[in-house]
Structure 1
Amino acid sequence: MIHSSRQPELVDRIEIVPLTAAFCPVASALHAEGFEDQDHWSADEMIALLDVPGAFGLLAFAPGNEVENQLDTPLGFIQMQAVLDEAEINTIVVAKEARKRGVARKLLFAVFERLRETGVGRVLLEVAEDNAPAIVLYRHCGFTEIGRRKKYYRRKSGREVDALVMERDLGTCVLGWNV
């Protein structure tokens, strides 16, 4: 389902579309790849989450090329839920071959813009304390640590990992960039 034979430079062309039920099998495959040491969400679980009031998702992909017979390549996705004036990132995943190419940042900024349009002023997330690349990204995107959930994640090995709880105030940025 995930086409990794794509040339790395093509990953730089990132398009964002709404995550719909039709794309949930692709998102589930990305989730399984991105969280190898944890349980991943099935397509049906993702569809059920999208049916929850205030929930939505975005899918990032590199567009294919008909002339060269290349398919669109899924790069990552984010699933959110907004309630009143705050939202939570339920999950965000980027394909291994697309990491460190701006996919997660583009997904986050697309979410920030959408949330601001609906009056959401605060975004929350939880991240495993041992996921250093994600923590660096979140801090760079304006998130700050506000708490910790002890032994929140359980790895397939049985090891338990704390989660950092982070937040971002959307009122402190313009067009997705910190000011």
Structure 2
Amino acid sequence: MDEATRIEEIEVIALTPAFAPVAAALHQTGFDDFWDENAICDLLNVPGAFGLLAFAPGSGQHQGSACAEDIPLGFVLVQVVLDEAEINTIVVGPAARRCGVGNILMENVVSHLQKHGVGRLLLEVACDNAAAMALYQKLGFAEIGRRRGYYRRNGGPAIDALVMERV
């Protein structure tokens, strides 16, 4: 299946607390220090926060929501304060990586923020995550700082985070 076909099969909906178990399971596939359902719900309940969930539609009926046959692919959590926002986390499940899911999630975030007059978007990314850095650069992000030893890895050295900005 080529990338264009895969992209057509990806849908994005609001990440609500009802999807916290799905989001927690996805987060565990991407991070050593992953967030559980409670942490995801807590972040969604912060004023200005929103999340988006990407999924591949199953055979069920859709009307702007997911159904039991859908395959969760990834999600993003964002925090907005006044006219700027920060990506709290973004993760794509292992089977869906390099299929356009991260790009679709980020494009939806940028579109949402533009509609609400938010001009600045920040994020942090592990400096050894070449695929994510390439995606962010493609979307207009530039490095503006570095946090030394920010990411702790199980059984490995701490990894620096690059702070990136899109204006």
The normalised TM-score by structure 2 is 0.90
Q: CA shift at 1:72, angstroms?
A: 0.4
Once the two structures are TM-superposed, the CA of residue 164 in structure 1 deviates from its matched residue by: 0.3
Runs of 4 or more off by more than 3 Å in structure 1? 7-12
List aligned pairs for 1:93-132, cutoff 5 A: 93-132=91-130
DSSP 3-state at the match of 1:133:
helix
In structure 2, the partner of 1:152 is 150
State the number of aligned residues: 159
2:57 matches 1:63: yes
Distance 1:157 1:8 in 2: 36
Which of 22, 34, 40 in structure 2 is aligned with 1:40?
34
Partner letter of residue 14 of structure 1?
A: I
Structure 2 match to 1:173: none
CA distance in structure 2 between the partners assigned to 1:147 and 1:167 by the alignment: 9
SS in 2 for 1:105: helix
C-alpha distance in 2 between matches for 1:66 and 1:148: 45
TM score, norm. by length of structure 1: 0.84
User: Is 1:30 aligned to 2:26, yes or no?
Assistant: yes
Q: Is the 8 A contact 2:52 2:105 kept in 1?
A: yes
2:11 aligned residue = 15
Given that 1:124 and 1:167 are in contact with CA atoms closer than 8 Å, whether structure 2 keeps it comes out as yes
Residues of 1 paired with 2:57 and 2:79: CA distance? 27
Closer/same/farther in 2, CA of residues 8 and 26 from structure 1, 3 Å limit:
farther
Contact in 2 for aligned 1:14/1:61 (Cα 8 Å): yes
CA contact (8 A) 1:60 1:103 kept: yes
Which secondary structure does the structure 2 equivalent of 1:138 belong to? helix
Counterpart Cα distance in 2 of 1:11 and 1:40 = 27
CA distance in 2, matches of 1:102, 1:33: 17
Shift of 1:39: 1.0
Which residue is 2:141 aligned to? 143
- The percentage of aligned residue pairs carrying the same residue is 57
Q: CA deviation at 1:8?
A: 8.5
RMSD: 1.8
User: Unaligned 5+ residue runs, structure 1?
Assistant: 1-6, 170-179
Distance in 1 between residues matched to 2:60 and 2:123, nearest whole Å: 38
SS at match of 1:41: coil
Residue 11 of structure 1, CA deviation: 4.2
**1:91 equivalent in structure 2:** 89
> Shift of the alpha carbon at 1:71?
1.3
Q: Which moved more, 1:51-60 or 1:150-159?
A: 150-159
